[in-house]
Amino acid sequence: MTVLDAIFAVLEESGEPLHYMEITRRILDKKLWTCHGKTPESTVNAQLVVDINKKQSGSRFQRYGPGIYGLSKFPDTIDRNPEPITLSFGDAAEQILQEYSEGQPMHYREITRRALELSLIKTQGLTPEHTMYAQIFHDINRNLKRGDISRFEMVGKGYVGLTEWHDRGLAFEIEKHNHATKNMLHTRLLDMSPPSFETLVGDFLTALGFDSVSVTKPSADGGIDVRGTLVVGDVIKTKLAVQVKRWKNNVQAPIVQQVRGSLGAHEQGLIITTSDFSTGARIEAERSDATLVGLMNGDQLVDLLIENNLGVKRTEHALIDLLRDSESEYDPSSDSPENS
């Protein structure tokens, strides 16, 4: 079964639109489709965007809101977002490489051209190919910090491939070890006491660059557990009010409403959970006529804890390997966006 057929089957059974994260979960639970990449939810979202953009009214699917998709025959019960349906530059690059590269690396300029032709990305900049290059490089470096293998690899002068195309050998074994460690870290979070978990979130926000981080008293938090201020360049200050949920069950929409109602003047809301969020919670958090509330699920929390060296330690090893022929004369500076 193709991924689009799997999406159709899940949506037809649900009888209502769903967030693409929930669509992905149901597809994998029912084993309707096997994803060979590391980000099945990104693939599901990208496939829907491509299908809707290319076929428009002829598509079996339509978008009912940010990240919310349903069958075109569903009643229009959710306000549609009039903005064009686009992807992040990274997700667009992965989709182009999967569908149009025939398993061969593509130059980042060609990836960008294809993504623009398909309306997969939206940019107001004059050099979208430079943004594409920077996003791919950022994806590689970010995953390195998190102990993951990036979905991308740089191959030759400006050429990009997918790591899923080849046997990853020792690197794959390292990734398996790191994945097991992530699961153990997630289990440890679930075993923490509520005060300890709230303190950890406070340390986490401090590691992210927040000032004046304070854990509120349980008896008077009004639903808010941690408060802090993010200062960017000594100019932009964002007050954040955080509610943490050390839960195994998904967070529902009423929790989002509770957090929004507990916000002080000029505060932004954030919910951090060890579980995930229901479709209703995601819709409520992004409601256009109310203050937006950020959502961070358990997987995102674990990734960022690792990225900021909280709860883990790193063991470095130097692995020496020969360059491929296509890489032997590669000088990264010669084809970087800064020198283009």
Alpha helices in the chain (DSSP H): 3-14, 20-30, 40-55, 89-100, 108-117, 128-145, 169-191, 194-207, 253-261, 279-285, 298-307
Q: What is the CA radius of gyration of the chain?
A: 21
- Hey, what are 106's tokens? 């593509």
- pLDDT, residue 337, reads 52
Whose CA is closest to 80, among 62, 107, 60, 99? 62
Q: Give the per-residue pLDDT at 168.
A: 62
What pLDDT does 122 receive?
84
Give the model's pLDDT for residue 74.
Answer: 60
For residue 335, what pLDDT is reported? 52
Q: Which percentage of the chain shows pLDDT scores above 90?
A: 34
Model pLDDT, residue 210: 86
Question: Would residue 103 be called left, alpha or beta, if left means φ above 0 and alpha means ψ between -120 and 50 degrees?
Answer: left
Q: Which residues of the chain have pLDDT under 70?
A: 36-37, 74-84, 167-169, 171, 218-222, 318-340
The 3-state DSSP composition of the chain as helix, strand, coil percent (nearest 5) reads 45, 15, 35
Query: Quick one: how far is CA 104 from the chain centroid?
Result: 25
CA proximity to 45, closest of 304, 53, 103: 53
Q: What is the pLDDT of residue 294?
A: 93
Q: Look up tokens 């910090």; give the residue.
A: 145
* pLDDT score for 176: 79
Determine the pLDDT at residue 80.
45
Return contacts of 87-90, CB within 8 angstroms, 24+ apart: 87/45, 87/46, 87/49, 87/115, 87/120, 87/121, 88/121, 88/135, 89/115, 89/121, 89/131, 89/132, 89/135, 89/136, 90/135, 90/136, 90/138, 90/139, 90/151, 90/152
CATH 3.30.70.980 matches 192-307: no
Q: Which residue has the tokens 């790193």?
A: 314
Q: What is the pLDDT of residue 324?
A: 60
Three-class secondary structure of residue 209 per DSSP: coil
What's the pTM value of the predicted model, to 2 decimals? 0.63
